[in-house]
C-alpha cells in the first residue's frame, strides 16, 4: 500500500469514477497491490524472514509503500 | 570518452542515445547487454529510456536488480559518471543510487511534449556547459515522472545542491515535488533526469539544447 502521506492519483481517479456512478459518500480511495507466491517450506519463521527480505529488496518500494505479510499454510 | 549504453529488455531510447554520443567529437559508444558485468573499459555509463520489463511491478524495479546494475553501483562508487534518462532515471532510483521515487504523473496521462527545463545546478560534470537559470527546451515522454521524496530528503537535496534540473513552477507537467526533474547524487557523478537530452541534439529534431550535457561530460573527462 502507498504510505498515507503519498498522494494516490490512481485512487483519486477511481474515487471520481465512483462518484459518477452515484457512490457520492466515498471519502477516500487508495489502491495497493497483492502479490501471491508459493514457498515450499515447513518453516514458517524462515519463510516470514525471507518474505520480508523480498519485500524490502524488490517487491515494495520502502520510500513510498508499506507492506504486510500474510502466510497461509496449504 | 568511451561510453556504455546499457540495454535491457524493453529499452527503446538506446539507439538515440548511442547516436547522440557520436555527435560529440572525442566520444565513442558501445551497447552493453544487461547480463554483462564487465564495465571496466568504459569511462561513462548511460542508461537509456524505455519500458524495461514492461514497467512490471514498478517502472525500473526489475531492471534495478539486473546483473549489470551491481557493476554500475561499483563504477558509481569509484567516481565514474553514470547518467540515467527517463526509464534510466527510474532504474537509478530503484537501484538506490538516487533518493526518492518517481510516481505516476499527477494527470495519470502519459505526457509527450517539448517543455522548458531550468538548469538549477551548473556545477556538475553533466551541466557545466550550461549557466545556472538557463531555460532549455527538452522533450519529455513519460507516464511516471512525478518526483517524490519526504521533506527531510528534499531539504538535503536543496542544501547539497543535488537538484540539477527542474520544471518552472508555472509549467510543471507531471506534478513533481518542487518541479524536480533532474537529480544528482551527493558526489555529483550520478545524474538521473526525466527529459531526453539525446532527443535534442540536432536543429531538425527541434532543439539542440541537449548537446551541452554530453559536451559537459566530455569536458569533465578530458580535464
**Which tens digits make up the pLDDT trace of B145-203?**
999 999 999 999 999 999 999 999 999 999 999 999 999 999 999 999 999 999 999 99
* B13 carries an active-site annotation: no
Identify how many contiguous H helices and E strands chain B contains and give both numbers.
5, 11
Question: Which residues have C-beta within 8 Å of that of residue B154, sequence separation ≥ 6?
Answer: B177, B178
Residues 68-97 of B with CB under 8 A from A: 94
pLDDT of residue B22: 96
Whether residues B148 and A64 touch (CB distance < 8 A) is answered with yes
pLDDT of residue A74: 83
Of B63, B117, B51, the C-alpha closest to B87 is B51
pLDDT digits (tens, 9 = 90+) for B89-145: 999 999 999 999 999 999 999 999 999 999 999 999 999 999 999 999 999 999 999
Cβ-based contacts of B61 with chain A (< 8 Å): 58, 61
* B170 carries an active-site annotation: no
Give the distance, in angstroms, between the CA of residue A10 and the centroid of all CA atoms in the same chain: 14
Distance from CA of A11 to the nearest CA of B (A): 11
pLDDT of residue B185: 98
Give the distance, in angstroms, between the CA of residue B33 and the centroid of all CA atoms in the same chain: 18
Q: Which three cell numbers stand for residue B83?
A: 547518467
Helical spans, DSSP H, in A1-74: 9-20, 44-54
Angle at B113 between CA B48 and CA B138, to 5 degrees: 60
pLDDT of residue B167: 98
Among the listed residues B86, B94, B142, B149, the single catalytic one is: B86
- Sign for the CA dihedral angle at B27, B145, B111, B121 comes to negative
Segment A27-47 shows an average pLDDT of 95
Segment A7-22 shows an average pLDDT of 91
Segment B214-219 shows an average pLDDT of 98
Domain boundaries, chain B: 2-222
Locate the chain A residue with the closest alpha carbon to B106. Answer: A9
pLDDT digits (tens, 9 = 90+) for B48-97: 999 999 999 999 999 999 999 999 999 999 999 999 999 999 999 999 99
- pLDDT of residue B223 exceeding 90, the answer is no
CATH number attached to the domain at B2-222: 3.40.50.880
Domain boundaries, chain A: 1-32, 35-68
Question: Which residues have C-beta within 8 Å of that of residue B166, sequence separation ≥ 6?
Answer: B117, B118, B120, B176, B178, B179, B180, B181, B182
* B198 carries an active-site annotation: yes
Cβ-based contacts of B146 with chain A (< 8 Å): 9
Whether residues B100 and A61 touch (CB distance < 8 A) is answered with no
CB A51 within 8 A of CB A74: no
Segment A40-62 shows an average pLDDT of 95
Amino acid at each position: 500500500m502507498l504510505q498515507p502521506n503519498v498522494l494516490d492519483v490512481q485512487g483519486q481517479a477511481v474515487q471520481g469514477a465512483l462518484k459518477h456512478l452515484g457512490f457520492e459518500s466515498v471519502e477516500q480511495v487508495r489502491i495497493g497491490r497483492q502479490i501471491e507466491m508459493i514457498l515450499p517450506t515447513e518453516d514458517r519463521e524462515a519463510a516470514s524472514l525471507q518474505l520480508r527480505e523480498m519485500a524490502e529488496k524488490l517487491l515494495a518500494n520502502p520510500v513510498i509503500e508499506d507492506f504486510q505479510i500474510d502466510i497461509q499454510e496449504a | 570518452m568511451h561510453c556504455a549504453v546499457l540495454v535491457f529488455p524493453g529499452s527503446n531510447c538506446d539507439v538515440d542515445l548511442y547516436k547522440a554520443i557520436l555527435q560529440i567529437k572525442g566520444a565513442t559508444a558501445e551497447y552493453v547487454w544487461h547480463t554483462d558485468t564487465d564495465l571496466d573499459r568504459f569511462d561513462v555509463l548511460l542508461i537509456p529510456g524505455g519500458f524495461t520489463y514492461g514497467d512490471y511491478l514498478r517502472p525500473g524495479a526489475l531492471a534495478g536488480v539486473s546483473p549489470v546494475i551491481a557493476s554500475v553501483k561499483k563504477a558509481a562508487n569509484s567516481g565514474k559518471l553514470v547518467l540515467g534518462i527517463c526509464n534510466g532515471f527510474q532504474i537509478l532510483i530503484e537501484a538506490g543510487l538516487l533518493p526518492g521515487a518517481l510516481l505516476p504523473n499527477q494527470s495519470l496521462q502519459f505526457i509527450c511534449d517539448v517543455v522548458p527545463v531550468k538548469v538549477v545546478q551548473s556545477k556538475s560534470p553533466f551541466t557545466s556547459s550550461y549557466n545556472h537559470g538557463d531555460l532549455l527546451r527538452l522533450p519529455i515522454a513519460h507516464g511516471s515522472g512525478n518526483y517524490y521524496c519526504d521533506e527531510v530528503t528534499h531539504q538535503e537535496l536543496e542544501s547539497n545542491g543535488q537538484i540539477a534540473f527542474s520544471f518552472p513552477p508555472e509549467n510543471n507537467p507531471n506534478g513533481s515535488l518542487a518541479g524536480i526533474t533532474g537529480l544528482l547524487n551527493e558526489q555529483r557523478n550520478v545524474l538521473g533526469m526525466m527529459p531526453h537530452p539525446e532527443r535534442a541534439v540536432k536543429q531538425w529534431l527541434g532543439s539542440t539544447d541537449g548537446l551541452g550535457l554530453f559536451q559537459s561530460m566530455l569536458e569533465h573527462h578530458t580535464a
